[in-house]
Amino acid sequence: MLDVCLAGTGGMMPLENRWLTCCWTEYQGDAILIDCGEGTQIALKKAGCKLSRLRLLLFTHFHADHTAGLPGLLLTVGNSGKTSPLTIVGPRGLRRVVEALMTIAPALTYPLELVELDASQPGSLDAAPLEISWLPLRHRVPCVGYRITLQRPPVFNPQKAQALAIPVQFYRRLHAGQAVELEDGRTIQPEQVLDGERAPIRVCYCTDTLPIPEIATFAQNADLMIGEGMYGDDEMREKLQEKTHSLFSDTARLAKQAGAQQLWLTHYSPALTDPQGCLDVARAIFPATTAAYDGIRTTLTGE
């Protein structure tokens, strides 16, 4: 089970009633945060995300609305008593940006481990038990989308085990994928008692970007696709082309092509005061679209 929370949903600047977009994903008490704009530490607290669980911070790109909250967040995490390392991942230039921002937060109680990735081509990194992949997006500056994948072990089938008269003490090892030798001399392979692979759980976060087709492939069969909704009105297309952002309808089309289970729209323009009111166009294309709001959360079970 993967818990996902979008603590903020705004773009460009924080507003009194809308925090900047950021995504909190938690699995077994360890949390991953994507992006950290001005005020993100407040948004996370308000949404009930526990900063002490933060293990990994991913930056999509280095515009201020995605990064300016870093010094404050790191200091507040330090005040909560953290001493274990925090890993921060982002496109090349990460080290320069983090070191610059830390000018006003020079002494942390825990080490930072910085991982720069090549934003010009797709890639992945191991964050066992999760896998994190990135996709180059098309924005004014190098920018990536992220996909967090939880692989799930096959389901153990006790009926099959009973039919084979396997003693209970061997169940755990078989479920973990190991063959066992029974006292009667039989060797049991895991496949004999497992019900096959289950689809992984995937959450995908892609903003800021033009609606490039690669996103549909990247988000293929995602349990949750979180995508850009800078404007709801299709008449804004020309403006967004220049600014390299996406419309509600653009992102809904990508979610449909991806075969995603559901889509949350985020990164609203400050001028977009009523995202709900623009939802019809997106839902006509991809019915399982939600105009996300600050603090929206879900638990992805893969069922």
d(CA 55, CA 192): 37
Strands 22-27 and 30-34: antiparallel
Regarding 82 and contact with a second copy (CB under 8 A), the answer is no
Tokens describing residue 261 = 């289970």
> Which residue, 68 or 130, has its beta carbon nearer to a second copy?
68
Q: How far is CA 93 from the centre of its chain?
A: 21
Regarding 21 and contact with a second copy (CB under 8 A), the answer is no
- Give the DSSP H/E element, type plus range, for residue 40: helix 40-46
- Give the DSSP H/E element, type plus range, for residue 289: strand 289-291
| Share of the chain residues as helix, strand and coil, in percent rounded to the nearest 5 | 30, 30, 40
Q: Which stretch, 26-34, 93-101, 122-130, 285-293, contacts a second copy (CB under 8 A)?
A: 93-101
Size of the site for a second copy (CB under 8 A): 31
Regarding 104 and contact with a second copy (CB under 8 A), the answer is yes
**Smallest gap, in angstroms, from Cβ of residue 74 to a second copy?**
9
> Which residue, 142 or 211, has its beta carbon nearer to a second copy?
142
d(CA 289, CA 256): 10
**Angle of the 70-79 helix axis to the 94-101 helix axis, nearest 10:** 70
Regarding 9 and contact with a second copy (CB under 8 A), the answer is no
Q: What is the DSSP-derived secondary structure letter of residue 20?
A: B
**Smallest gap, in angstroms, from Cβ of residue 61 to a second copy?**
10
**Smallest gap, in angstroms, from Cβ of residue 42 to a second copy?**
5
**Smallest gap, in angstroms, from Cβ of residue 79 to a second copy?**
7
> Which residue, 69 or 227, has its beta carbon nearer to a second copy?
69
d(CA 39, CA 43): 6
Among the listed residues 35, 65, 208, 294, the single catalytic one is 65
Regarding 57 and contact with a second copy (CB under 8 A), the answer is no
**Smallest gap, in angstroms, from Cβ of residue 290 to a second copy?**
24
Write out the binding residues for a second copy, residues 130-169 only, by CB under 8 A.
none
Residue among 65, 208, 228, 250 that touches a second copy (CB under 8 A): 65
Q: Is 65 a catalytic residue?
A: yes
Regarding 39 and contact with a second copy (CB under 8 A), the answer is yes
At 103, give phi and psi (nearest 5°).
-55, -35
d(CA 292, CA 224): 12
Identity of the amino acid at 197: E
165: number of Cβ within 10 Å:
9
Regarding 192 and contact with a second copy (CB under 8 A), the answer is no
Regarding 210 and contact with a second copy (CB under 8 A), the answer is no
Regarding 15 and contact with a second copy (CB under 8 A), the answer is yes
- Give the DSSP H/E element, type plus range, for residue 163: helix 158-163
Please list the active-site residues.
Answer: 65
| Residues at the contact surface with a second copy, assessed by CB under 8 A | 12-16, 37-39, 41-42, 45-46, 62-65, 67-69, 71-72, 75-76, 79, 96-97, 100-101, 103-105
